[in-house]
Every structure is written in C-alpha cells, then in structure tokens.
Structure 1
Amino acid sequence: MSEYQYYKFERLDGYLDAKARQSLRTVSSRAEISATSFQVYYTYSDLKAEPAELMLTYFDIGFYYADWGTIDAYIKLPAGTLPDALLGFSRDGFHVHESEEWQLLIFSLEEYYEYFDDENANDFFQYLAGLRSELIQGNWRLVYFMWLKALDCNDELEEIPLIQFDFEHLSEELQAFSALYDISLAWVKALAMVLNEQPRHQAKQAQFQYDVWLHNLTEAEKNTLLSTLFEQGQLTRHQALAMTRKESANKDETYQYWLTPDVISSYFEQAQSQLQQEQAAAIAKKMAIEKAEKEKMLTDLYNQRERCWQQAQEQADRTCASGYDAASRDLHQLNEAYQFKGDRPAFEQSFKCFIVANSSRKALLNRLKDLL
C-alpha cells in the first residue's frame, strides 16, 4: 500500500503575509502556498509540522486524509466561542486545543475504508467555512453531532447542556458532515424529540449590534484594527471581534438543563421507527416522481415517433460506431414508448421496415438483437 497523505488549510479571516508564507515554505518545499491557502500531498514523506500548530498559527479551516483510513477536519474559533460545559466530553473522534486566542476543534476518523480521493476531500472542504460560521454565530449543532456519535459506543458519556437548536432541519453543510462522519440520524431525531418535550435552554444567537460594539472600543483597539486593515487589505467581522474580545463570551454561563445518555436513550426506538417511516415515504415519493417523469418522456417520444424513426435512420446512415450506438439507443427507447402506449404491433411493423432498409449493416443489427 502506498502512503498517500493530503493536507489542505485555508485562512478565511485576513491574509498570510510574506513572512508567514516564507515560514510555511520551510514546512513544505513542494506545497502550493497562496495568500490564503496551503495545500500539499505526500506519498513517502510527511509534513514537517504538526497540523494543529499550523492551524493555531495561520489558518481557520483545514482537512487531512491518508489512504490508510485516517481523516481529520479542523475548525478554528475565537477563544470563548464554545462554553467549557460543551467541551468536556472530548473523545477519540473529537478534540479541542485551546490557546489564549483560539479554540481549535479537530474532528477525526481513524478507520474510514470507503473510497476517498482528492476530489472527495475538496468537495467536503467547501463545507468547512459554513460549519465554522454556524459555530461562531452561536449555532453549536456540530458539537452535538460528535456527542451523538460518541454515544453510539459509550452509554456512560458525560452530560452536556440541553440547548434549543433546530435538529429537524439540517443545513447542507451539516448533512455533508453527518454523511462523512457517519452520524446516526436516528440519534439526531431522538435529540429533536428531547428538545420538543424536555425543559431546555434557549440558544443565544443574538444579532450583532455594531453601534454598541464600536462605542465600547478603546482608542488602542481602534488603532490596532486600522493597522491590521491597512496591512492585510481587509478585515472580516469575525477577525475584528476576535481581536477585540475582552473575555470569553461563554465562560461564566451556567446551565440548569442537561442532555444525558439516559434522557435521550428513552426516545431512540420511537425516533428510529419514525425515521424509517420518513425514509420509506421519501423513497416512495422519489419513485413516484421518477415514474411520472419517465411516463412523460415516453409519451412525448411516442407523440414524436415519426421524427424519432427518421432520426434513428439518419444515425444509421452515418455508418460508424457512434451512429449505430445512437440509432440503437433511439430504437430501444421507441420500443419502450410503444409498449407503454399499448401499441407494440405498430412498433414491430416499423421495426421490420427499418431492418430491411439496414440489412447490410451487421454491426448495427448486432446492437438490435434483443429487439428482433
């Protein structure tokens, strides 16, 4: 087995200056480095730095995978974004590295054995910015996902605050995360049921009050923000808030209502049954839509049958493999359309005429054997 490893990191708030890019070049001489990103793959060597340290120093989101099944996703948040009470259940698949400025969340899979390549990695990477934005704005569902994943194999999991988030309508980013990290949708539905029936805290996702924030800034903080803006050319809201935060936003939060394995487990069977019913209904609806679309297509084809016979002959007259393939495809679809309309004898009559007209084209006839 080769030892393929892929790293991709991106800075969302601000830019990497020349000094930062030079430092990153010492980490990897072959990486693609820009003012906002770092990307590299290895086959028989490795990165000359710890990804967590690179994230804390330079980047806001990151992703790593190796062909032996390891996957890590990184999201960096301003310090105090998540309350300590929400981070106490750290397990093999979820770790938090904290510094004075940041909280770095690492979501890990140790044994992912489905097919995965750079294209899959890039497809998933595009969701990390949205997941980070949700967390910063006070929507912490991603952390609850990891708690539910840990619950699958540990019924003595530590409790976490029971906070009212919407687990019935998941964003595209959360759906992508749940698919990759194999989050049980039955547990997600069970959590939604708990929140509908049990006492819980309301989520604090207050609108940002720009005037209040600006009024409370000191002259030194304003000067720092202006200097950073001129140096980087831009300054995002998240970056400005992180630079001027005076204390952890959720440090002193107290909670009265808690989510425990015992509480949610009592809802699991009901949630699983309801989920199966919803999935069956969704499949039935999808099949009904596909059937209606197929019937419409066959009806349209039957109504234009004379033109389709002519088109099939035009393709056959090209006397090449692609023309014969196209003619065969047209005739098979026509056969299905005639059958759908209960007019099989009419198809057989027209088909015999087509065969007679193309009797010398053995390659075409071979493609039509199953219609003869």
Structure 2
Amino acid sequence: MSEYQYYKFERVDGQLAPHARQALRAISSRAEITATAFQVYYTYSDLKAEPAELMLKYFDIGFYCANWGSIYAYIKLPAGTIPDALLGVSLDGLHADERDEWQLLTFSIEEYGEYFDDEHADDFFQHLAALRRALIQGDWRLVYFMWLKECEFNEEIDGVPLIHFDFEHLSEEVQAFATLYDIPLAWVNALAMVLNAHPSHPAKQAELQFDGWFHHLTDAEKQTLLSTLFEQGQLTRHQALAMTRKESANQDEAYHYWLTPDVITPYVAQAQRQLQQAQADAIAKKMAIEKAEKEKALTDIYHQREHTWQQAQEQADRTCASGYDAASRYVHQLCEAYQCKGDSPAFAQRFKRFVVANNSRKALLTRLKDLL
C-alpha cells in the first residue's frame, strides 16, 4: 500500500498576513493556501515543518492523518485556558505544549484500526472550531474524555479536579470527538453518576468584561493591539486576550474535590448496564419504526394492488432483463402485501393468472421461482 499523509490547518481568529502566506508557501509548494487555511497531502515525501510549530505560529485548529493509522487533532488556546491541575496529568493521547501566549493541545491516535481518508478528516475537521470555542469558554470535557480513556486501563493515574460539566448531554461535535477517539461511553456515564452523587466544583463560563479588561491595559499593549489590527485588518477577542493575558487565569485555582480511579470505578458496572439497556431500547425502537414504515408501505401496495399488478405486467411486456427484474420486484412486493393483510389465497389466484400470461417468458419465471 502506498504512503498517504494529509495535513489541514486553519486560522479561526483573523487572517494570515501576506508574509505568513509566503512563509507557508516556502514550506510547501503544492499546498492549497488561502487567507485562513493551509491544506496538503503527500503520497511520498513529507511536510517540511513540524505541525506543532506551524500551529503555534500561524493557526488555531489543525488535523493530520496517515494511512498507517496515525491521527492528530490540534487545538490552540490562549495561555491559561486549561488549568495546570488538568494539563499536568500524563495522558496517552493528549499532549499540551505551553508557550508564552498559547496552550497547544494535541489529541493523538497512533494506530487507528479502521479505514480513514481525507473525506473522513474533512468531516471531523468541521467540528474543531466549535470544540475550540467550547474549551475557551470553559467547557473542558475533552480533557476529561482523555482522562477517562486512560483510567479504563490505568488504575494508577493521577486524579483531576472534579468539576460539574454536563456528561449526560453531548453535542454533535463532542459526540464526533468521542467516536473518533474511542472514548468509553460507560465511563462517561459513570462520571455523570459521580457528579450526581459527590460534591464538585461548579463549571465556570469564561466571560470578558470589556471595560475592566481595557482599563488595565498598558499603553504598550494597546499599541501592540492597534498594530496587529492595522496589519491583519481585523482582531478577534481571542487574539486580543492571548496577546494581553499576563498570567494563567486558572493555574492558581484551589480545588477541594477530585476525580480519581477509586471514586469512579464503583460506578462503571452500573453505567455499563444502563448503556447496554439504552442501546437495546434504541435498537428496539428503530426496529419498531422500520416495521411500522414497512407495514404502511405494504398497506399502500395492497390498496393499489390492481395498479401494481398492471405495472408488473407492463414491465414484463418489455421482454428484457431490466423489465423482468422490475416485474419480479413488483410481484414480490405484492406477495408481502397480501401476506401482511392475511389475504394469501387471493394472491395465489392472481399470481397464477400472471404466470399463465407470461408462461413463455422463462427468464421472468426463473426470477419468480421462489413463489411458484
């Protein structure tokens, strides 16, 4: 199998300056580069830069996948967005790169077991901006997902603050993340149970009061913001915060309630049973809906049975393979419709007339041999 690597990066806040686009073009002559995005794939060779460095310098979200199973999602946040108490835990699949202005989160899979191509990558990529926005606003559930995944196999993992996020109702983008990264849903449900049974810290929605923030800026910081605005043509809230934040907003938080393996493990078996029951209920509901839809369709066919017999005969009269296929489908649908209404003897009589009318068409009768 030939080599395949796919890279996609995007600037969510603002646009790439002309000199940034020139620098990116020097890195890859074949990439698609716009004012906000960079996209390229390789069937040989490789990107002449480290994705993490490109993210920290130019972009806000990014994605990489290779046909040998490696998958990386990148989300860049203003410094101090995620507290040290969460990012300080060593987790397989999550790496945090701390810089002066930024936190770069890299969510990785080293050996993805299913087929994954650039279409799948694009489908997932569309969720990254919303996931980043939620993280900035104080919704850190993605980090907890990675902790739960590690905890499933590692009873020695360090604890994390127990913060009351909503793990019972997951948005489309959060569900997409949980699916791709194979987050154990039973453990997610178990965490929801823990939060209902134990004291926890309230989740804080990040808010910015403009007057208070602007009042505390120095003249040099205001000048930097104006220069950036002039150079880029726009300046988003997240960019301004990242450029002027002096210290982590969360690193000095005092946490009294903690999530540890000992706290969550007793709830996992019950959560697994509830998950299995919910899945069984969903399957039963789906089957009931499909059964009702099929019965309605068969009822409609039965009520129009003479018209359907006529359609079957018209297709048979075409005396070609596609006509015989269509006629066979009509007759089989009629058979099911008569059976659904408990009128099989009437079908047998009408079917006998149809066979007699088409007795010379052996190819058609072969298609109907299971009804003869």
Same fold, judged at TM 0.5 (above):
yes
**What corresponds to 2:18 in structure 1?**
18
**Distance in 1 of aligned mates of 2:240 and 2:290:** 50
CA-based RMSD of the aligned residues comes to 2.0
**2:106 counterpart SS class:** strand
Match for 2:273: what amino acid? Answer: S
Report the Cα distance in structure 2 between the residues aligned to 1:12 and 1:64, rounded to whole angstroms. Answer: 17
Letter paired with 2:7? Y
Partners of 2:197 and 2:34 in 1: how far apart? 50
Q: Which residue in 1 is equivalent to 2:154?
A: 154
Asked if the contact 1:81–1:136 (Cα under 8 Å) also holds between the matched residues in 2, the reply is: yes
Structure 1 Cα separation of the partners of residues 177 and 311 of structure 2: 47
Q: Number of aligned pairs?
A: 372
> Residues 214 and 363 (structure 1 numbering): CA distance in 2 closer, same or farther, change over 3 Å?
farther
Separation of aligned partners in 1, 2:9 and 2:314 = 54
- Aligned position for 2:51: 51
Deviates more, 1:278-287 or 1:262-271: 278-287
Residue 83 (str. 1) matches residue 86 (str. 2): no
Partners of 2:187 and 2:48 lie apart in 1 by 39
Report the counterpart of residue 166 of structure 1 in structure 2: 166
The alpha-carbon deviation at position 23 of structure 1 amounts to 1.1
Q: Give the direction of change, closer, same or farther, for the CA distance of 1:24–1:359 in structure 2 (3 Å limit).
A: farther
Quick one: distance in 2 between partners of 1:65 and 1:57? 21
Partner Cα separation in structure 2 for residue 153 and residue 361 of structure 1 = 65
Q: Aligned residue for 2:27?
A: 27
Which residue pairs with 2:259 in the alignment?
259
Is structure 2 residue 366 aligned with structure 1 residue 366?
yes
Tell me, in whole angstroms, the C-alpha distance in 1 between the residues paired with 2:88 and 2:174: 22
8 A Cα contact 1:359 1:365, kept in partner: yes
> 1:283 corresponds to which residue?
283
Q: Which of structure 1's runs of 4+ aligned residues deviate more than 6 A? A: none
Among all aligned residue pairs of Structure 1 and Structure 2, give the percentage whose two residues are the same amino acid. 77
3-state SS of 1:149 partner? helix
Separation in 2 of the partners of 1:341 and 1:235? 68
| Cα distance change of structure 1 residues 347 and 248 upon mapping to structure 2, 3 Å threshold | same
Indicate the residue corresponding to 1:348 in structure 2: 348
> What's 1:196 paired with?
196
* Residue 294 of structure 2: aligned partner: 294
Asked whether the equivalents of residues 101 and 245 of structure 2 are also in contact (C-alpha less than 8 Å), the reply is no
Structure 2 gap segments, 5+ residues each: none
Shift of 1:220: 5.2
Q: 1:107 is matched with which residue?
A: 107
Question: How far apart, in 1, do the equivalents of 2:227 and 2:306 lie?
Answer: 73
Equivalent residues of 1:88, 1:158 under 8 A apart: no
2:153 maps to a residue whose letter is C
Q: Does 1:127 align with 2:127?
A: yes
SS at match of 1:14: coil
Aligned to 1:249: 249
> Against the structure 1 CA distance between its residues 299 and 100, is the aligned structure 2 distance closer, same or farther, given a 3 Å change threshold?
same
Residue type at the aligned position of 1:95: H
In the superposition, the TM-score normalised over structure 1's length comes to 0.93
Following the alignment from structure 1 to structure 2, what is the Cα–Cα distance between the partners of residues 216 and 329? 76
- Supply the distance in 1 between the matched residues of 2:254 and 2:370 (Cα, whole angstroms): 73
Q: CA deviation at 1:283?
A: 1.8
Instruction: Look up the equivalent residue of 1:131 and give its one-letter code.
Output: L
Q: Distance in 1 between matches of 2:219 and 2:40?
A: 42
Structure 1 residue 61 displacement after superposition: 1.1
* Structure 1 segment 208-223 matched on structure 2, within 5 A: 208-214=208-214, 216-217=216-217, 221-222=221-222
Show structure 1 runs of 5+ residues with no match. none
| Kept after mapping to 1: 8 A contact 2:10/2:61 | yes
Name which of structure 1's ranges 168-177 and 21-30 shifts more when overlaid on structure 2. Answer: 21-30
Aligned-pair CA distance for 1:248: 2.0
Which letter maps to 2:174? L
Mean alpha-carbon deviation: is it higher for 104-113 or for 296-305?
296-305
Residue 329 of structure 1, CA deviation: 2.2
